[in-house]
Structure 1
Amino acid sequence: MNQPPNPPVPPVPSALPGCWWHPNRPTGLSCARCGRPACPDCLREAPVGFQCTDCVQAGAQQQQRQHRQYRNAGMGTRTIAGARPSNSFPVTVTLIAVNVVVFLITVIQAKSLFDNSSAPVEQLGVLWTSATLGGGEWWRIITSGFLHYGPIHIAANMFSLWMMGRALEQVFGKGRYLALYFVSMIGASATVLVFQDVNGGTAGASGAIFGLLGSYAVIVLKLKLNPTALLINLVINAYVTFAIPGISIYAHVGGLVAGALVTVAMLYAPERNRVRWQAIGTAIVAVAIVGLIGWRATQVPPAQCTFAELRGGTTYVCGTSRSG
């Protein structure tokens, strides 16, 4: 007896999806960027995984657009401030090292890690209006920016300097970055000398660091970058400035304004003879700050300052000098 022929077996559908570009090719692969299924012929190696040909082409076009934006912003092979890009941060590292070394000296002199205000270096270097303007101890305008009260003070400032200083040193280069830092420091000192109590002492690198923050704000506006990180920084620093007792609000405001003005002078300088115009603009800001300090000096009476034994220890005091 003849057996009837077996009926044809329908093909079992594949459990794998078909390639987006070749639907008749089942594949277990997919694009790492868009997630669409793709056969080996439609995938290209990418920095992370494999991407389809469409995503590779879109990524190349996006990279070209970013390159044009970078070039049109005035950067090209240089940064927006005209410096050559660098991955090293010698100025920022040096500034941090100097601050730490000076702090350790005050700790050794005071024989205390948390209370170093009695150290002679601290007393001779903090920004004190009576001693600075009345006693003629002008060095305090700079030295106060390298002195700190206790480990928390210096740790917070050095962390901020490391975070912002590295990025800005890349943008400005060593010379411009140093000018920005020290003009911001002088601007912070000038504001303290003009507005703060003549008998109050101020120290710390936060004035110069706020200058870096003001510079960052100008760069964000210049390049129309996402301001989220800037706003977060501003809110945090504003809270610290107004919420913690003993923080010099004047130093922070003065440094912020000075740093912003210096950055405007550098970023908006004419392209022709750009370095010269940047130097002129920065010098104008610095001269204006020095002029403000000079004007304030005419209002502070002369003083004689010396170390004296007070409260069981040696303290630096200033007394108004009397002529005749």
Structure 2
Amino acid sequence: MNQPPNPQTPPTSALPGCWWHPTRQTGLTCVRCGRPACPDCLREASVGAQCIDCVQAGRQQAQTQQRQYRSSGLGARTVAGAKLSNSLVVTPTLIALNIVVYAYTAFQAKSFTDNQTAKLFGDWVLWPRAVAGESEWWRLFTSGFLHYGPIHLAVNMFSLWILGRDMEVLLGKVRFAAVYVLALIGGGVSVFLLDDSNRATAGASGAIYGVLGGILVAVIRLRLNPAPAIGTIVLNLIISVSIPGISLLGHLGGLVVGALVTAAMVYAPTRNRAVWQSVAAVVVLVALVGLYFYRDSQLAGVTCQYLQGQLVCSPPTG
């Protein structure tokens, strides 16, 4: 076959230059904006590659959306509706308050082991006759921050630290504080309602048992193995019965109230969850107040007076 003396080579179209490096020809483009880009100006994405400008713009957009998402109250939450956070505030604050109160009573009593002789201890301890005779209802709450000596304090604060950390993360700060306070009051009301009217009781054990009861409810809600929590509760109840001087009624009252309030927190419907939880907490508080007034009416015959600076109360009549 004869060929033309000067065969013509078909013209090839020149590749576009990189948007950021115009002198570099490239056949690559950004999947987001479509602009030509050289390999140095592209970053691998989930689908294709994006240019450096689109990567930066996407990162800023994601950060803005995340801030808006969080500020609107949304985001990853626990079964109780609490935002995921590992920061602890309530648990260490409660421990610090208990330590400060103990240190003050030890200072007043001038003794680390006999701090129950301090004036503050006598004013705050849960003594049912004083609660009824002097209408000192606050003893139901303040007694939860008193402890008989350093060993009593150390055991309770160690237990609070171990149990409170997980519960605070699960429930959130406000919900955990509500469980703790209501369990503390529940233990106090239980003692006031059922215990000897002339027996003084103090300690954070009722509130700590409430946290323990809450852990059992949370474990069941999360469908985990409840055996360790049940075993811990049974063991502690056996200790409460075996060792003299421990308030079993206070422990049981705190345990029941803590479990009830936690159940309201973790089983509340997702819609209007905070409302349901608040209403449940108020209902429990109202029930405890009602029990307080019921017992107070039974001890209406108690009279108290100060003799030589000491509060003396008569036994109930009838």
Fold agreement, TM-score > 0.5: yes
Once superposed, what is the RMSD of the aligned Cα atoms? 1.9
Match of 2:93 in 1: 94
Query: Matches of residues 250-265 of structure 1 in structure 2 within 5 Å?
Result: 250-265=249-264
Matched, 1:227 2:222: no
Alpha-carbon distance between aligned partners in 2 of 1:102 and 1:259, rounded to the nearest angstrom = 23
Query: Matches of residues 1-324 of structure 1 in structure 2 within 5 Å?
Result: 77-309=76-308, 315-319=310-314
Q: Which runs of 5+ in 1 are unaligned?
A: 1-74
Q: Cα deviation per residue 1:297-317 (whole Å; 9 max; x = unaligned)?
A: 1110254445434xxxx6432
Structure 1 contact 141–189 (Cα < 8 Å) conserved: yes
Q: Cα deviation per residue 1:45-82 (whole Å; 9 max; x = unaligned)?
A: xxxxxxxxxxxxxxxxxxxxxxxxxxxxxx98111100
Structure 1 contact 135–302 (Cα < 8 Å) conserved: no
1:111 CA displacement: 1.0
Structure 1 contact 118–315 (Cα < 8 Å) conserved: no
1:291 CA displacement: 0.6
Match of 2:50 in 1: none
Alpha-carbon distance between aligned partners in 2 of 1:91 and 1:263, rounded to the nearest angstrom = 16
Amino acid at match of 2:313: C
SS at match of 2:288: helix
SS at match of 2:193: helix
1:145 CA displacement: 0.4
SS at match of 2:314: strand
SS at match of 1:160: helix
% identical equivalent positions = 50
C-alpha distance 321-255 of structure 1, shift in aligned 2 (>3 A) = closer
Alpha-carbon distance between aligned partners in 2 of 1:231 and 1:257, rounded to the nearest angstrom = 14
Amino acid at match of 2:224: L
Alpha-carbon distance between aligned partners in 2 of 1:115 and 1:222, rounded to the nearest angstrom = 43
SS at match of 2:307: strand
What TM-score, normalized by structure 2, do the two folds share?
0.73
Structure 1 contact 124–316 (Cα < 8 Å) conserved: no
Structure 2 contact 187–250 (Cα < 8 Å) conserved: yes
Amino acid at match of 2:181: F
1:115 CA displacement: 1.1
How many residue pairs match? The answer is 244
Moved more, 294-303 or 205-214: 294-303
C-alpha distance 76-238 of structure 1, shift in aligned 2 (>3 A) = farther
Alpha-carbon distance between aligned partners in 2 of 1:216 and 1:113, rounded to the nearest angstrom = 33
Q: Which runs of 5+ in 2 are unaligned?
A: 1-73
Alpha-carbon distance between aligned partners in 2 of 1:320 and 1:198, rounded to the nearest angstrom = 8
Alpha-carbon distance between aligned partners in 2 of 1:306 and 1:166, rounded to the nearest angstrom = 43
Amino acid at match of 2:284: V
Q: Cα deviation per residue 1:24-52 (whole Å; 9 max; x = unaligned)?
A: xxxxxxxxxxxxxxxxxxxxxxxxxxxxx
Alpha-carbon distance between aligned partners in 2 of 1:271 and 1:302, rounded to the nearest angstrom = 48
Alpha-carbon distance between aligned partners in 2 of 1:228 and 1:321, rounded to the nearest angstrom = 44
Alpha-carbon distance between aligned partners in 1 of 2:285 and 2:279, rounded to the nearest angstrom = 10
Structure with bigger gyration radius? 2
Structure 2 contact 299–316 (Cα < 8 Å) conserved: no
